Chains A and B, each alone.
Chain A
Amino acid sequence: MIAFTDIVGMDLAKQALMLLAVDSELGGVVIPSAVGSGKSTLARAFADILPPGTPFVELPLNVTEDRLIGGVDLEATLATGVRVVQHGVLSKAHGGVLYVDSISLLDSSAVSHIMDAISRGEVLVEREGLSEVHPAKFMLVGTYDPTDGEVRMGLLDRIGIIVPFTAQNDYRARKKIVNIVLGTRDEEDTRDELNMLAGFIKAAREQLPHVSITDEQIRALIQTAISLGVEGNRVDIFTVRAAIASAALAQRSDVEEEDMKQAIKLVLIPRATRMPEREAESNEAPPQEEPPQQDEPESEDEEAPSDTPDAEAEEEQKETPDMIEELMMDAITMELPDNILNISLASKKKTTTGSRGEALNFKRGRFVRAQPGDMRSGKVALIPTLISAAPWQETRRRDSKMAGRPKTALLITKDDVKIKRFRDKSGTLFIFMVDASGSMALNRMRQAKGAVASLLQNAYVHRDQVALISFRGKQAQVLLPPSQSVDRAKRELDVLPTGGGTPLASALYLGWETAKQARTKGITQVMFVLITDGRGNIGLQATFDPTAEKASKEDLEKEVEALSLSIQADGVAAIVIDTQMNYLSRGEAPKLAQKLGGRYFYLPNAKAEQIVEAAMSF
């Protein structure tokens, strides 16, 4: 067993866990880290620095709802004639730690239950005739490898600390790790170190209620949250708590600047949706890093007048005292890689249903639960059916209707029948929209086809569906309706003719229609992959009515913008792959990506793998 103090590197993660050990109200720590960096070892070693006897429960990824929430313990119930409750994993973690390895792979219903438990501090069990409340106040520690996908934002929102993505350890650290793993370290040293650390934490816990924070400091932290574009107000409470815990760890009774920096680093920055001006210039900030407020540009107006925020926020931003700005910049640059924007969790495309494309069904996938249903509509869950029939045997025998049955037979009625409910990746529909206009021919059709081909390959592996829309001349055209046949898509793409105008709006409209239709067929997630230079020059009007006058440039832009915003609002994800030559570009494609709330790639720079990764990680 490797102790907490033995773990080398991952300093931020360690600091985060120590803060959590000091103040469990921080809710939890999420540690994204590459494979083999020791994140799960660290998380498991977290128990070392908690008071002895603190529960530490590990949640298996394939947990069923019953095990998670709790339910009837049938064996005991039948034996005693009294309903006996079996507590679920969530309530077993009460007062301690719930640890989830690969938390990004947890299925979305489990995530919802965990979210619910965190927000209540208890589990409501309303199942199988049971109605109970079990206390479930726990610290959630989650680790995951970001290449497996992201954790659902709703869950992250309820967890105080998100450790910024940890880079690989350097060679000295690696050497030390090897030594520890090989057992060349003195065990006594380890024990001493551990005892010392545990002592620190204990002292800090005692110090915690005596730490005070000034209103100015609270204000500075909130100001930082606002200028980083962090969504929600709950985060303020976490930030303040983290700063206080940090001061307690240092045995101080006042929050100081370094505590605030620590809080900003561990709570706010990983949730940033934009970076303050100075930073944003440095690397070509992808356009999706817009503050979330802009998703609903008009919504502010319904608020009470005192709330009319954007203008006000802007103003306040300008008023931001230098102190805060310095603080923020320090926190950002300290120990964090330069490309923080790229690893900021919140800047990743938000998903509509958490883990990608999962849906409950009665046919295939992972068995989640048994539920009452018609025998013909699914697979019968035999054991749950027998279990639900068992208690009634006595009663039914006495029942006149069933009197004629042989004594030995099990009396099962249709009410007992439970059918299996599965959770399955229902797949994502990728709608490729390829600009085949004249301007594209000049550009890089061949390259674009290459990028699409590798995406298609990946889609095939994931059993996703693909559709292909090309647009040229007067209007867009569905070359391939949603299908799993990647080969057909490839073939269509190979023979794609080019030339003519660019009916961009028509393509978006058609894509959206296709997406809507797919939704009615059980597809939960749709992603547009637009390969274009973004220069639409044929309006929707022209598509339907060839005699219509040529729309003005402004009208065309407006049309595309309106469509893009609605498509984004409808939860369709998007990637825009810009094919325009550098020297010709007037930034149409990045603008399109921004309006769609999608990611933007400049084709000549983008590697095929990057695009694939972006498409797969949404």
Chain B
Amino acid sequence: MTQTETAAKKTAPRKTVVAKAKAGSDVTTTSEPIKAVKPAAKKKSGQAFPFTAIVGQEEMKLSLILNIIDPRIGGVLVMGHRGTGKSTTVRALAEVLPFIERVEGDTYNRTIDQYIEGEEAKKGRKAIDPASLKTEKIPVPVVDLPLGATEDRVCGTIDIEQALTSGVKAFEPGLLAQANRGFLYIDEVNLLDDHLVDVLLDVAASGLNVVEREGISIRHPARFVLVGSGNPEEGELRPQLLDRFGLHARIITILDVAKRVDIVKRRREYDEDPDAFMKKYNREQQKLQKKIQTAKDLLPAVSMDDSVLTDIAKLCMNLGIDGHRGELTIARTAFAHAAFLGETVVTMKHVKEIASLCLRHRLRKDPLETLDAGEKIDRELAKLLGEAEAV
């Protein structure tokens, strides 16, 4: 099932309201009347460039994939040169995502347990029999948060239409609701308005979105993988927000001529006939999707030796990283990386490959430091490994 269909299904009840309202009015306006609901319209826009057809930028691709395998890693921040395919890659992600199960038509993408918990918490609701609930499978949602979004659309607000037509106060969920259990993507995240950043920080910390307005009080789960991209030259990211991202991928202009020729040719091919192009990559897309799903299934079986954990902790300590988010992120990411490679035991080999992704943005800034963060991490790691080998 495509995302479009699901979205349409999910929003079906609202559509009728609109239709009724339309029938009741004979005023014609030049503007188009609003279409029922959101994500349906969103997916309508042309096909995304296939993920597997993107040349190079492995660091970014790996970070995204690891976050699908384990959403607890905490998201990715992709920073780098202009015109290097940052947003293309993130938008392409939607096509290789696995499926999740949710209560049929639930706007918040909740599982049965979450649904019951949430609904029973409401005033005056009786217990719900789990057997009465149907579920459906939907692809992990990817929600795009544009820079111009207003707070009410992000958090959700009162449905103005219902208020106007029937005088009923109904809550209309926002982007945070749609992103629950999925991905929330912000392009040019470093340019995001401060008040939206505050909202995101709040929600990301608690996993809950709380809306109090017009006498309506709503709390709903909003756990999502935050993905941001931007160009560091355009502006700085707030440190608190920076800290929220599990991984930090850096991307630079590809200087390999052969690769660049390949990029141009693929792009031209895609522009000429997107459908044929998609078809060409269909098999690879499915293969990757399957590989990710397999890794997700394998993840609980992956284990890590205590000695590896010790090394990770040592690494963070030697680098002088504050707090424990560094160790945690490395551990989780290494687990996911092992699972992605189809291995069940995490070794320092896995850690090595993802350490700079996890730690780059957590190093303390030293005014006299000339070393690039990545190199510093690698150097510490090498020292540590040398030490480990000697013992």
Give A contacts to B, CB under 8 Å: 25, 65, 68-69, 73, 76-87, 108-109, 112-113, 115-116, 119-133, 135, 152-154, 157-158, 209, 215, 218-219, 222-223, 226, 231-237, 240, 292-293, 296-304, 306-307, 309-310, 312-313, 316, 350, 352-354, 360, 371-372, 391-392, 394-395, 398-399, 413, 415, 509, 512, 559, 561-563, 565-566, 571
**Known contacts A87-B31, A127-B153, A240-B268, A133 near B41 by CB under 8 Å:** yes
Q: Do residues A124 and B144 form an inter-chain contact, with CB atoms below 8 A? A: yes
Q: Which residue of A lies closest to B268 (CB)?
A: A240
Whether B130 is near chain A, meaning CB under 8 Å from some CB there, is no
A27 CB, nearest partner CB in chain B, Å: 11
Closest to B272 in A: A209
- Cross-chain contact A154 with B231 (CB below 8 angstroms): yes
Q: Does B87 contact A (CB under 8 A)?
A: yes
Residues of B within 8 A of A309 (CB): 254-256
Q: Is B1 an interface residue (CB 8 A)?
A: no
Contact B152 A372 (CB under 8 A): yes
Q: Does B13 contact A (CB under 8 A)?
A: no
B187 CB–A CB distance under 8 Å: yes
Interface centre among B34, B37, B169, B194 (most CB of A within 10 A): B34
Whether the Cβ atoms of A119 and B187 lie closer than 8 Å is yes
Residues of B within 8 A of A310 (CB): 255
Q: Which residues of B are in contact with A by a Cβ distance under 8 Å?
A: 18, 21-22, 24-25, 27, 29, 31-35, 37-38, 41-42, 44-46, 56, 58-59, 81-85, 87, 144-154, 157-161, 163-165, 167-169, 172, 174-175, 187-188, 191, 193-195, 213-215, 231, 233-236, 250, 252-257, 260-261, 263-265, 267-268, 271-272, 356, 367-372, 374-375, 378
Q: A129-B153, A303-B58 are in contact. List 5 more A-B contacts (CB 8 A).
A: A69-B148, A223-B257, A296-B252, A353-B235, A391-B163
What is the number of contacts between chain A and chain B, taking CB atoms within 8 Å? Answer: 264
Which residue of chain A has its CB nearest to the CB of B24? A81
Out of A128, A157, A563, name the residue touching B82 (CB < 8 Å). A157
- B191 contacts which chain A residues (CB < 8 A)? 108-109, 112
Sample (27) of A-B pairs whose CB atoms are under 8 Å apart:
A77-B164, A81-B165, A82-B33, A82-B165, A83-B161, A85-B32, A108-B191, A116-B146, A120-B45, A123-B146, A124-B146, A131-B175, A153-B82, A154-B82, A218-B265, A297-B372, A299-B252, A299-B372, A303-B58, A307-B256, A312-B256, A354-B234, A371-B195, A372-B152, A391-B164, A394-B167, A566-B369
The interface residues of chain B lying within 8 Å CB-to-CB of A292 are 81, 253
Task: Decide yes or no: A112 and B29 within 8 Å by CB, A81-B21, A233-B263, A236-B260 being known contacts.
Answer: no
Q: Which residues of B contact A84 (CB under 8 A)?
A: 29, 31, 33-34
- Contact: B85 with A233, CB < 8 Å? yes
Q: Which residue of A lies closest to B372 (CB)?
A: A298
Q: How far is the CB of A427 from chain B (nearest CB, A)?
A: 17
10 tightest Cβ-Cβ pairs between the two chains A and B: A232-B83, A234-B83, A298-B372, A309-B255, A131-B38, A126-B149, A126-B153, A124-B146, A157-B82, A127-B150
List the A side residues contacting B174 at CB < 8 Å: 126
How far is A209 from B272 in the complex, measured between Cα atoms in Å? 9
The residue in chain A whose Cβ has the minimal distance to the Cβ of B264 is A236
Given that A119-B187, A236-B263, A371-B195 are known contacts, is A86 also in contact with B31, CB under 8 Å in the complex?
yes
Asked whether B264 lies within 8 Å of A126 as measured between CB atoms, the reply is no
Verify A226–B257 contact, CB threshold 8 A: yes
Residues of A close to B261: CB separation below 8 A? 215, 218-219, 222
B46 touches A133 (CB 8 A): no
Chain A CB within 10 A, most for which of B41, B167, B252:
B252
For the complex, what is the distance from the CA of A122 to the CA of B145, rounded to whole Å? Answer: 13
CA distance A223 to B257 in the complex (A): 7
Residues of B contacting A394 in the complex (Cβ-Cβ under 8 angstroms): 163-164, 167
Note all chain B residues with C-beta closer than 8 A to A235. 83
CB <8 Å contact, A112 and B188: yes
Q: Inside 8 A of A566's CB, which chain B residues have their CB?
A: 367-369
Q: Give the contacting residue for B367; candidates A25, A154, A157, A563; CB below 8 A.
A: A563
User: Are B83 and A157 closer than 8 Å at their CB atoms?
Assistant: yes
CB <8 Å contact, A307 and B254: yes
Q: How far is the CA of A299 from the CA of B175 in the complex (A)?
A: 35
Q: Does A413 lie within 8 Å of B214, measured CB to CB?
A: yes
In contact, B264 and A222 (Cβ under 8 angstroms): yes
Nearest CB of chain A from residue B192's CB, rounded to whole Å: 9
Contact A301:B368 (CB < 8 A) given known A115-B188, A133-B42, A218-B264: no
